[in-house]
Amino acid sequence: MAEEQELDRRDWIAGLEKGLRIIEAFNDAHPRLTPSTAARRTGITRTAARRYLLTLQHLGYVESDGTHFWLTPRILRLGWSYFDSAKVPRAVQPFLQRISLELGGSAFFAVLDEDEVVFVARNGIGRVQSLGFVLGARIAANLASAGVVLLACKPPEEVDRWLAGRKFVPYTPHSYTREEDVRVVIDKARTSGYCILEQQLEQDRRGIAVPIRTRAGDVVGAISVSLPIGNETTQQALTRALPVMREAEHALLALL
């Protein structure tokens, strides 16, 4: 992945940063915010938070009852600008369709964003998992095979920093909650070039993922497939799915 470059402070627009922080302050736990709550969640003053919220209201991105503010569907324009302009999610779509049809599961393309993996393309048949694998969903990286395989592509010292002191929230009785267990699956993915996780986010489901690289060697994301465990063993699932995943990985290498 391309290295993040330092920005000259003279080029920094603090107002834009604060406005985006206000937008990001809304989530499932805080769907409605007062200026005071927004100020606490963003670290800016209540007066400034109120002005940003009123500006966003004027632009149509939030609504208000005079006390609370909440996002409007217009906010989706910001996310869809990414989907409309990004090259890679469009390039992988035919491959996701083939993976889904051949393996009988839901196929995804995901990217790593700090602590989370974000699903930016998908193709699926049958049910969609109840806990998050929808377009644009964000999931803790350690819970998804795509997240683990992307972490495995990072230098070991970066992984050490990522793991240090992190609390791992279990979603199932099988979820890894110890740092050493998560480290083992990351190391295994680094060695093998793929990741398989079972019942980490949802019981009776397994995920298999491989990284996607450009011809220059940059990792741009990962493709994954979510399959029911059923009566299929781990090795049987790998034998059936991995060749299909590898074929897509190699084909995309020539395109990107």
Residues 35-55 as b/e (b if ≥16 CB within 10 A, e otherwise) read bebbbebbebeeebbbbbbee
pLDDT tens-digit profile, the chain (256 residues)? 444 567 788 888 999 999 999 999 999 899 999 999 999 999 999 999 999 999 999 999 999 999 999 999 999 888 888 877 788 888 999 999 999 999 999 999 999 998 999 999 999 765 555 555 678 889 999 999 999 999 999 999 999 999 998 999 999 999 999 999 999 999 999 999 999 999 999 999 999 999 999 999 999 999 999 999 999 999 999 999 999 999 999 999 989 8
How much is the pTM? 0.81
Which domains are present in the chain? 9-78 (1.10.10.10), 86-255 (3.30.450.40)
